Amino acid sequence: MFLKRIILLVLLCAPGSAFAWGTTGHRAVARIAENHLSAKAKREIARLLGTETLPLVSTWPDEIRSDPQYKETGPWHYLNVAAGLDLTAFTAQLTATTAPAPTDAYSALRLMRSTLQDRSKTAAERLQALKFVVHLVGDVHQPLHVGRAEDRGGNGIPVSWRGHDTNLHSIWDGDLVEYPGFTYSEMAVAYDRATRAQIKQWQKDDVAIWLFESYQLCTPAYAAAAASPKFDYRFYPAFAPAVEQQILKAGIRLAGVLNEAFAN
């Protein structure tokens, strides 16, 4: 038991930990989504959550990953594909898997959305699906969670950041998000500035488009690491707009998913 606790502590404290956007980013995504929920979605979500809130449950799928009961959900948090794909080839890879159980973020999100919408499922099943939907929408908007298979989404790209050695994936998972020093509530206020036209378009986009956008953002991220793996003060200003945009898009699109799920 003591050894298990030590392993869990190491996993939770490890820099990056392959947890997209970290606690702050995921909760900001959920908080932005709350701002754009329909009245009916708010009621139904409150009924499922009870005393919990969307921001607080947004990190649950990361928190339970060390539990053997949820071992199969590990690959649900990312999708790694080959480099250099256009939208047609990328979409073909998304739909190529015919496994009965989810094998990546795309198939897991599809299953959890279906479960959430299925009124024949129990409240417990739909609550778990809700938690995964909130989390996975955030995950797939983190570019390196839709990175190259050959380097495991940037995990195999060593870089340094502010004097410590790390990898490209971890930089995007936490360092870029935490750099401004926002709480998740402050981040939601600062970032939630989408126009009506943007909201309409982003919620209309297919999930494949979400992932392809993240995939495309990997190109400048990988290029920066190739040009100079020792990231200095210029790195955050260069990529901060992309981080802000992706967190905002995730929140807006999550609201669209939840409004649709509870519409009928």
Q: Who's near 155: CB < 8 A, 6+ residues apart?
A: 18, 167, 168, 169, 170
The pTM assigned to this predicted structure is 0.91
The closest of 70, 92, 67, 72 to 82, measured between CA atoms, is 92
Q: Kindly report, residue by residue over 42-77, the tens digit of the pLDDT.
A: 999 999 999 999 999 999 999 999 899 999 999 999
Pick the CATH number of 20-261 from 3.40.50.720, 3.30.700.30, 1.10.10.10, 1.10.575.10: 1.10.575.10
- The pLDDT confidence band at residue 99, using thresholds 50, 70 and 90, is confident
Rounded CA-CA distance 218/232 in Å is 19
Mean pLDDT, range 80-84, rounded to an integer: 90
Q: What is the DSSP letter of 231?
A: E
> Is it the case that residue 10 has pLDDT exceeding 70?
no
* Distance in angstroms (rounded) separating the CA atoms of residues 159 and 151: 13
Q: pLDDT tens, 126-176?
A: 999 999 999 999 999 999 999 999 999 999 999 999 889 999 999 999 999
49 CB-near residues (< 8 Å, 6+ apart): 57, 127, 130
Is residue 172 within 8 A of residue 143, CB to CB? The reply is yes
**How far, in whole angstroms, is CA 87 from its chain's centroid?**
20
Tokens of 187: 């981040």
Q: What is the pLDDT of residues 202-244, one digit of tens each?
A: 999 999 999 999 999 999 999 999 999 999 999 999 999 999 9
Share of the chain above pLDDT 90, in %: 85
Tokens of 91: 């979409």
Supply the angle between the helices 196-204 and 235-261 in degrees, to the nearest 10: 70
Question: Where are the chain's structural domains?
Answer: 20-261
The pLDDT mean for the chain works out to: 91
